[in-house]
Amino acid sequence: MTDPESRPIRSREETEPLFAYQYQYPLGIFGAVVGRSMSHAVEILNQSGVEPFSLTRIGVLINQEEEKE
């Protein structure tokens, strides 16, 4: 049995999935960032000058490309 909505995980390597994280500024401004881990997402945000109030993992980044047979 297969799920027709399933799509492969997009990754740089087969063993390294990418995750989407939602961050929030203290004033209720929301944004999103993609990283290999939460610490990687924080590093990306800090390099951009963003200090998030909260950071929540949304889920795995999936590949939207159709597979060709």
Give tens-digit pLDDT for 9-45: 554 555 577 899 999 987 788 999 999 899 999 999 9
Query: 17-33: string of b/e by CB count within 10 Å (b at 16+)?
Result: ebbbbebeeeeeeeeeb
pTM attached to this predicted model: 0.66
Tokens of 66: 């159709």
CA distance 53 to 33: 14
Tokens of 7: 């799509």
Average pLDDT over residues 38-65: 86
- The SS3 call for residue 51 is coil
Return the domain boundaries, the chain: 30-56
